[in-house]
């Protein structure tokens, strides 16, 4: 299962980077394996992931090499401990982050965004990897499956990493449409 999960996360990382949803050192990915989490290492390039770019940490408790895991490990753990989701994807899509500076709720106007996402909450930005961020993200994920952290990025949870990524991709497209509609960009 671990090898299959890593393969899926590698493909999702490539898609996120190809679509411009993350830059060279931004974002993180994880998959829940029974009582452990497979998560990207701190500072990895999601577009160029290999199997050694992941670290396996216990779902609960401390691990000696934990500091090598993504700085958002606490958020991923909190989501897994309080939901039945098996994958968390965190990205920094530009249009979404820009709209988060102005809105408390992102309401897509395009049909796909409306149907797939509904209304997406925007929460306040807490320090990266903090308990406050973990709690706020988890609470929002419980109700929406997807949350935007103001001026920071998006956390998406699903049973498969591809669907968590897909929700971020659709959200970014919906945000570009909203920006176009609001006159913030000239063309899509």
What secondary structure does DSSP assign to the chain, as a single string?
A: -HHHHHHHHHHHHHHHHHTTSS-TT--EEEEEETTEEEEEBTT--GGG--GGGEEEEESSS--TTGGGB-TTHHHHHHHHHHS---EEEEE--HHHHHHHTT-SEE---SHHHHHHH-SEEEE----TT-HHHHHHHHHHHHHHSEEEETTTEEEEEESSHHHHHHHHHHHHHHHHHHHHHTTS-S--
CATH hierarchy code of domain 2-181: 3.40.225.10
49-104 pLDDT tens trace: 999 999 999 998 887 788 888 889 999 999 999 999 999 999 999 999 999 999 99
Q: What is the pLDDT of residues 147-159, one digit of tens each?
A: 999 999 999 999 9
Give residue-wise pLDDT tens across range 17-47. 999 999 988 999 999 999 999 999 999 999 9
Residue 15 has pLDDT above 90, yes or no: yes
Residue ranges covered by each domain of the chain: 2-181
% of the chain with per-residue pLDDT over 90: 84
């Amino acid at each position: 299962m671990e090898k299959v999960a890593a393969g899926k996360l590698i493909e999702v990382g490539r898609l996120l980077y190809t679509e411009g949803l993350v830059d060279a050192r931004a974002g993180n990915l994880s998959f829940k394996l029974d009582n452990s989490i497979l998560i990207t290492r701190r500072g990895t390039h999601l577009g160029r992931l290999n199997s050694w770019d992941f670290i396996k940490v216990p779902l609960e408790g401390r691990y000696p090499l934990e500091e090598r895991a993504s700085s958002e490990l606490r958020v991923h753990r909190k989501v897994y401990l309080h939901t039945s989701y098996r994958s968390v994807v965190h990205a920094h899509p530009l249009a979404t982050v820009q709209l988060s500076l102005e809105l408390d709720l992102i309401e897509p106007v395009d049909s796909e965004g409306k149907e797939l996402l509904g209304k997406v909450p925007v929460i306040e930005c807490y320090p990266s990897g903090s308990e406050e961020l973990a709690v706020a993200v988890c609470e929002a994920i419980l109700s929406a499956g997807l949350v935007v952290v103001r001026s920071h990025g998006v956390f998406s949870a699903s049973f498969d990493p591809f669907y968590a990524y897909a929700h971020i991709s659709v959200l970014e497209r919906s945000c570009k449409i909203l920006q176009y509609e609001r006159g913030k960009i000239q063309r899509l």
